[in-house]
A and B are shown apart, each in its own frame.
Chain A
C-alpha cells in the first residue's frame, strides 16, 4: 500500500511533488490509513485538472537587463555528458570509415548469354575465392510455348484476332459479350454472314476465292497451284473445324457463320468455357493437333 501511495505521489505535478511529497509520505507512514489512498487520488486529479496555473514554469531572471532568462535549473549529469561525447566520437569514426571505404569503385556482376570480346568479365571473388575472374552466362529467358504458337494461331484465324480485342490471347468475359459486334466487323461483303475466307481461310499468296475457272478449279495468278473445287470445299470444312472457336460458332457445320450464329456467338463461346471462369483460356481454344497438322501442312 505504501508503494502504491508513493507511486500516486510521483504522478503529481513536479512543483507540488517536490514541495509536499515528502511530508505527505511522512503523514502516510504515521497514519497508515486506507482512506489516504482515496485522498491522494483526489489530490492527483485536483492538481492536474484544477490547478493548471500552479504548473506554470517559474521564470528566474538571471539578468534583468539582459536578453537571456533561465527557465529551469536543470543541469545534465556529468556521466550523461561523457556518454554523449563518446557516442558522438563513435558515430563520427563510423562516418569517416564509411566515407573512405565508399570511395572505392564498386564492381558489378556483368554477364551475357552470348559472351563476346566486348563483354566485361565478372569478378566473383566473394563466391569463388580461387577463381577471382569468370564470365557469367545468363540463361536465355524462358519462352512461353503457348504464346509463341498463339501469336500465329490468332494471326491465322481472323475470328480470334477480332474477338481478342486486347491481344492477350485470352478471350475475356467482356470480349465474349462483345463477340457479335466483333464478328460483324469481319463481314466485308456485308451479306450478314461470315464465309471461311472472312474467317481467315486462305490457300496461298495468289489464291483468289472468287476466281473459279470453268473447269471447277482455282489457282494462283502464276498458275503454280491448282485445286479442284471439291478440294477447296474440303479445305474450307477443315479450316472451320480447325479451331474450337470456329467450330463452336458454326453450329450447323455449314462452313460459314450465319447471321443468327453471329447473334448467338456469345452463348456459343461460353460453351467452350470448360472451367467456368468466364473467359476462354488458351487451353480451351487451342486447336486439336490433328487439325493443326492439316492446316500447317496446307500453309
Chain B
C-alpha cells in the first residue's frame, strides 16, 4: 500500500486540499469547496471546474470513490478509499519530513549557531 501510495506523491495543492476535506467525512462537491475554504481560512478557493477535474482524475485512480446520492438528487457524495487515505497519510508524512528538514536548515543557518 505504501509503495502504491508513493506513486501519487507529491500531491498538487488542489488534490491535497480535496483529500484533506474528505478525510473527516464524506462530502458532496459544494461541501468540499466550503470545507477547503474553511480549512485554508479563505486563502484558497477552489472552483467547481477545478474540483471536478481533480475528482475525475482521483476517481479514475481509485483514490476517491462515489458514495451515492442522498436527498438532493443532484448531489453526489464522495469519500476517500483506503488507497486515498494511504496517499494522504504518505503526503502528510512527506510534508512533515520537509518541515523537519526545513527547520533543521533554518536553525543551522541562524547567526548565533555559526
| Pair B56/A54 contact, Cβ less than 8 Å | yes
Cβ-based interface call for B17 (8 A):
no
Contact with B along A29-52 (1 / 0, CB 8 A): 011000110111011101100010
**Contacts A16-B56, A46-B53: A26 and B75 contacting too (C-beta < 8 A)?**
yes
Cβ-based interface call for A174 (8 A):
no
The residue in chain A whose Cβ has the minimal distance to the Cβ of B75 is A26
Stretch at the interface among B43-51, B81-89, B90-98, B104-112: B43-51
Residues on B with C-beta less than 8 A from A158 are: none
Residues on A with C-beta less than 8 A from B76 are: 23
| Pair B75/A23 contact, Cβ less than 8 Å | yes
| Pair B49/A42 contact, Cβ less than 8 Å | yes
Majority secondary structure of chain B interface residues (helix, strand, loop or mixed): helix
| Pair A20/B55 contact, Cβ less than 8 Å | yes
* C-alpha gap A22/B60 in the complex (Å): 19
Chain B contributes a number of interface residues (CB within 8 A of A) equal to: 17
Cβ-based interface call for B74 (8 A):
yes
Residues on A with C-beta less than 8 A from B53 are: 16, 43, 46-47, 51
| Pair B30/A36 contact, Cβ less than 8 Å | no
Residues on A with C-beta less than 8 A from B29 are: 23-24, 26-27
Residues on B with C-beta less than 8 A from A39 are: 47-50
Residues on B with C-beta less than 8 A from A20 are: 52, 55-56
| Pair A26/B50 contact, Cβ less than 8 Å | no
**Contacts A22-B74, A35-B47, A36-B47: A43 and B52 contacting too (C-beta < 8 A)?**
yes
Residues on B with C-beta less than 8 A from A25 are: 74
| Pair B52/A24 contact, Cβ less than 8 Å | yes
* C-alpha gap A35/B76 in the complex (Å): 23
**Chain A residues near B (Cβ < 8 Å):** 16, 19-20, 22-28, 30-31, 35-36, 38-40, 42-44, 46-47, 51, 54
Q: Given contacts A27-B29, A28-B48, could you give 16 more A-B pairs where the C-beta distance is less than 8 Å?
A: A16-B52, A19-B56, A20-B52, A24-B48, A24-B49, A25-B74, A31-B30, A36-B47, A39-B48, A39-B50, A40-B48, A40-B49, A43-B53, A46-B49, A51-B53, A54-B60
**A-B CB contact pairs (8 Å), 25 listed:** A16-B56, A19-B56, A23-B28, A23-B29, A23-B52, A23-B74, A23-B75, A24-B52, A27-B29, A27-B30, A27-B33, A35-B47, A36-B47, A36-B48, A39-B48, A39-B50, A40-B47, A40-B48, A40-B49, A42-B47, A42-B49, A43-B47, A43-B52, A43-B53, A47-B53
